Structure 1
Amino acid sequence: MLNDSKVTANVPVSNLDRARQFYADTLGLTPAGDHPGGLVYTTSGGTTFYLYETEYAGQAGHTIAQWHVSSVADEVRDLKAKGLDFEHYDMPGVEWDGDVAKMQGVGNAAWFKDSEGNIMCIDDAVAD
């Protein structure tokens, strides 16, 4: 049953207007739907996620969503030009090239926090 289902990510935000502006101005995303208490985003890559307002936003200490891209370095460059700062983590076996983590046998990744403190990732690993 679940094997044949789509999964939608739910991203908590404490201020929906601030999050809408961040996702538009910084990430270049436009909501596909606007509902009371939340926004629905659908990417051309086929992903859907929902921003919903809650007082518990930004409390997860881990990555809650990641985008699979063709070039992490290019995305980092473009997002930095829009003022986004990237996170660096002390992880065994990871070599850093600026804001890009190079992970042997896995690929490249970079992490940032959205306007609400949620940890997001971009990577060039192939998702099966």
Structure 2
Amino acid sequence: MLHAFAMYAYIPARDLPRARRFYEEKVGLTPKMETNGGVVYEFAKGTAAFLYPTPNAGTSQASQAFWSVTDVDGLIRKLKAKGVVFEDYDMPGEKSPEVAITAGGAKAAWFKDSEGNIMALIEEVPGSGG
């Protein structure tokens, strides 16, 4: 039933101006519009995320959202150059020099945003096992 509809991510922010600086200056997002006290960012294939103010930001210990990307390691290098710090998790799988983990058909890397939310970059890697 719901598979026929677009799904959007919420990104919580304790300090909205700080979070906007992180996403716009470090991650390179462009706001589509400001609404309901927050800001909407659009992505490929009609997807989007709503960055909104809440005191609950950064409380989840799991990934908040992920980008389906190509060349995880290349993106890690570019984001690190902008000041994004990637997490170095001890997980099963092959670890790249850039700390991405390849396992289960995907290569993944995680970073925390300015609010403590865990975000991920995921690249499909056919035949990577896991």
Pair in the same fold by TM > 0.5: yes
Q: CA deviation at 1:91?
A: 1.6
- Where do 5+ consecutive residues of structure 2 fail to align? 126-130
- State the one-letter code of the partner of 1:120: M
Partner residue in 2 for 1:115 = 114
Range 41-50 or range 60-69, more displaced: 41-50
1:39-73, Cα deviation, whole Å (9 max, x unpaired): 11101342211011000000000111001111001
**TM-align CA RMSD:** 1.5
Which contiguous aligned blocks of 4+ residues in structure 1 show a shift greater than 2 angstroms? 98-105
The 5 Å alignment of 1:8-87 reads 8-87=8-87
The question of whether the paired residues in 1 share the 8 Å contact of 2:94 and 2:102 is answered with yes
Q: CA deviation at 1:105?
A: 4.2
The change in CA–CA distance for 1:56 and 1:105 in structure 2 (over 3 A counts) is closer
The question of whether the paired residues in 2 share the 8 Å contact of 1:72 and 1:100 is answered with no
Q: CA deviation at 1:109?
A: 1.1
The question of whether the paired residues in 1 share the 8 Å contact of 2:101 and 2:109 is answered with no
- How many residue pairs get matched? 125
TM norm structure 2: 0.88
- Where do 5+ consecutive residues of structure 1 fail to align? none
The change in CA–CA distance for 1:3 and 1:44 in structure 2 (over 3 A counts) is closer
Q: CA deviation at 1:78?
A: 0.2
1:23-44, Cα deviation, whole Å (9 max, x unpaired): 1100100110102321111013
Q: Percent identity?
A: 46
Range 40-49 or range 115-124, more displaced: 40-49
